[in-house]
Structure 1
Amino acid sequence: MTHFKSVSYTCPQPGPRLIVLGAVHGNELAGTRGILRVMEELEQGRLKLARGSVTFVPITNPLAYEKQQRAGDRNLNRNLNPTDAPHEFEDLIANWLCPLLAQHNVLLDLHSFQSPGQPFAMVGPENNDGTLEPFKFAHEEEALAIRLGVGRLVDGWLSTYAHGVEARIARMPADASRADLLNADSRYGIGTTEYMRSVGGYAITLECGQHDDPQGPEVAYRAIHNTLAHLGISGEADPIPAKTIEALHIYQVIDKFNADDSFNRTWASFDTLKAGDIIGKRANGEIVAAECDGYILFPNNKAQAGQEWFYLARTTERFAAPG
């Protein structure tokens, strides 16, 4: 299946335009299953729209979905921009998906992750007029995030990725492959949510738990309902905000240099680190240790050389007073 499919439901009363994505990565199916469940409720009349519209994309990357793996030709959630010279199948998706995103003003992107861990949401930057990711809807984004049904929020993605790109460029070989060059492109940090913010909307990535967690589809389903309710698109009551929020800021990405770089243990996202804790070892014997107290995120023992191996995060006070 290599065609693209979206399904839209529009109410006569004007209102927010929401888009919900599933299977941006082909082996992350919680969002797809949650989306299909909500679509069935709409089709059967058990869920009704009060205003605005919602568009569902149950399978955003059909090639990766068909292969039952994260990517088709490359990671769709990197370097997501339209192009006049497509190289990979994901470029063709971008040429279809980016204009579709631009027709909406709110995005909920549903994902899952490889290692064990609890669901969490990733949000964008605070309001700013900077050059990297200028933004003016931080309040709206945070208000939605704390109503999705999870108690952990993470920010700092794009700024951290930009610093990681600088490091990759510094060690780039003269005979770098196209994959190496993409990994060292500052635009390669731009995924669905970053693109949505760049065209004037706001967006949240919801990580629904580990890939095979049977509760993942329920997390996705509940988040879709909560989003529709909070935006006033459905007639359901606005969800109560989370009473407490665990808030983390990503500040560093560590790449694999060699396919034989290895962790010293099985890590899970949000495992705590103390300064000096050994995380892994490079193929050349160099020890990789935590420089300060914090947390490990997205540990990926299957990462290829030149790709993200894991991220480091620390606590932030940004979401200390949800409401």
Structure 2
Amino acid sequence: MTRQPTQMSWRKGDNVAGRPWHGRVRDYDLLKELTIGVVVVGLLVCGLSAVFSSPDEPGITLKSWAAAAPADFVATATDELDGDSDTAGYGPPYNSTPDATQKIGFIDLQSLSGVRIPIDTANDFVINPLKTLPGPQPALAAWTTATDQQRTAWTTSYADALSAAPDGDPAQVAPGDYGPVPSLTGGLLAMATQGSLDGVLQNGGEPYNLDYTPTILFLGDGTYFSDLATAAHLTGDQWGVMNETGDTPGQSWLWLFSLLYQIEPFKSSANADILVVFTMVGLSLLLTLLPFIPGLRSLPRKIPVHRLIWKDYYRNR
């Protein structure tokens, strides 16, 4: 006896979508839903956006920094010459500053990356850009031929004089032995005010280059940019990542990453960055492996939130 292969039945009665509905039936007004979905929700979104949206601030450039806060620009340029800025002491991937990396025990990921983007703040941020101009060549020659000790003495004296001047104004600095430092920082300020420093500092002014690393680092070494962030409530302790300026709604997906910086032990740790990264990696692995972890994977069944959401379905079960 030959056994016939079982075939799938395509009768309408076997189709789940074709079965009669025995649940509750109510009228459906498509026009009403369309009105609510488009008009009401649209007005609500526009109203909330007008009240709670972030301002569309223009981008910050070295030109706007030099024009708005020339004293801070000159003070920052002096720190770059002196090697006393945040970038100069950051460590990998910009330089090999000793004991500058963040660690967890023996794990030092920052050092493992190596110095991949070498930056000498004095040369890359000040000296090399000024070499593209004809004006400050005597000051550049004096700086280049001086010893490291002499350069340090000049920059330290000038930085102290700037701090003592009213409002840090370079024009009101007391006379002293500052060598070529005032000429160098003044020339860089003029270059930035004219708008040429942005292009030169951006990887030598090569066309179609989108690497803004040097510009961002130089800008971040001053206080002007951080003051703007504070005024716009965009600093870390204000959860600024949720209020990003510009045309986008903000990086709300980073809320958990930002949250960790507000609590202990991350908040007061000198290794906060690497601690937060490892914590986020651990949480991400936990979420990824959740279907395979006994006990945790059963929580949705033990906590019947879904029964509240689909209560009409479960009412007659």
| TM-score between the two structures when normalised by the length of structure 2 | 0.20
As a proportion of its length, which structure holds more helix? 2
- The structure number with the bigger radius of gyration is 2
TM-score, normalized by length of structure 1?
0.19
Higher strand share: 1
